[in-house]
Each structure stands twice: as C-alpha cells, then as structure tokens.
Structure 1
Amino acid sequence: MALNICIMKRIKSIIALLLIATATMAQDGNAGINEATNQVKSYFSTGTNLMYAIGAIVGLVGAIKVYKKWNDGEHDTGKVASSWFGSCIFLVVVATVLKSFFGV
C-alpha cells in the first residue's frame, strides 16, 4: 500500500514538472505563424523564377523533340507539339497566377 502511494506521488510530481516545463517553453502562436509566413515569402520569388526556368527548359526540349519528329515525317507531330507547348504554358501561367494571387 505504501509503495502505491509513493508511486502515485512520483507520477504526480512528474506530471507537474511536465506541465511547468511545457508552460515555460510555450511560444507565442502568432509570432510563429508570422515567422513561417516571412520564410515562405522569402522563398516565393525564387520558386516562381525556378518555375519559369523549368518552363523554358521544357520548351527547348519539346521544340527539339517536335523538330526531330517533324523531320522524320511522323504523323503525331501536332499532338506532341501541342502537349509540350501546353505544359510550358501551364508552368508559366501557374507561376504568374501564384505570384499575383499571393501578392509577393
């Protein structure tokens, strides 16, 4: 019986210490959210520039692929050209819309 009381006291002490530790280590939620927002905003311009660069590379690769198919006389050249062109336009439009939507 005395052992159970001793264990219960220790458990209560541990819980009290944990509560005190979490209360002292708690941070302001607004400050954390603002810090995260500032970090994301700092990377946003770089990310949209990266999307533009990827769009340019995809466009160049697609142009070379379409040119090769066209010279080989393949019949699906139009389909390949429209899919590559569409993917380039999609990347540029998404980057532009995100930049204007988030106002960065």
Structure 2
Amino acid sequence: MEKRTKKVLLTGMALLTALSVFAQDGAAGINEATQMVTSYFEPATQLIYAIGAVVGLIGGVKVYNKFSSGDPDTSKTAASWFGACIFLIVAATILQAFFL
C-alpha cells in the first residue's frame, strides 16, 4: 500500500509540474483570441454583402419574370426578396458594430 501511495503522489506531482509548465497568462490569451476573432469580421461582413448582392440580383430576375408573365403574386415576391437583402445588410452591419 505504501508503494502505491508513493506512485500516486509522484504521478500527481508530475502532472502539476507539467500543467505549470504549459500555463500561460490568461489575459494575454484572451486578448489574442479577441484580436483573432475581430480580424475575421471585416472579411465576413464583405462576404455577407456579396451574398446579399447575389440574392438581390436573383430576386430581381425572379420578380422580372413574374412581372413579365403577368403573375398577380409579383408584389409579394418582390417584398420577400427585398426584405431578405435588407436583412442581410442590416445584420452584417449590426454584428460588425456590436463586436467591434
């Protein structure tokens, strides 16, 4: 039993020593993570704007096709596509303003 206790104690001490070697300053790690996350917002915002532009173009073509064919549901389709584009733009802008 004495030998087993020494093994457990030695293992525990080795583990604590290994953990203390890998320990870092918490504030520096948080600051680095914050900087990394915020560096992705500008490209992500630009990507969302591009997606919004593509969705808007596709929506414009669909609305034009419905309007040309005389579909009475044209205004509903136009409103939904326009709303989707506005939502993408506003969401990207708000997220960027909120996190930066």
TM (norm. structure 2) is 0.91
In the alignment, the residues of structure 2 paired with residue 90 and residue 77 of structure 1 have an alpha-carbon distance, to the nearest angstrom, of: 20
Misfit runs of 4+, over 6 Å: none
5 Å-filtered alignment, 1:14-93, equals 14-93=11-90
SS in 1 for 2:24: coil
Aligned-pair identity (%): 53
Q: Which runs of 5+ in 1 are unaligned?
A: none
In structure 1, give the amino acid aligned to 2:23.
A
SS in 2 for 1:27: coil
In the alignment, the residues of structure 2 paired with residue 95 and residue 15 of structure 1 have an alpha-carbon distance, to the nearest angstrom, of: 49
In structure 2, give the amino acid aligned to 1:38.
Q
Task: Report how many aligned residue pairs link the two structures.
Answer: 100
Alpha-carbon offset, residue 43 of structure 1: 1.2
CA RMSD of aligned residues (A): 1.3
TM (norm. structure 1) is 0.88
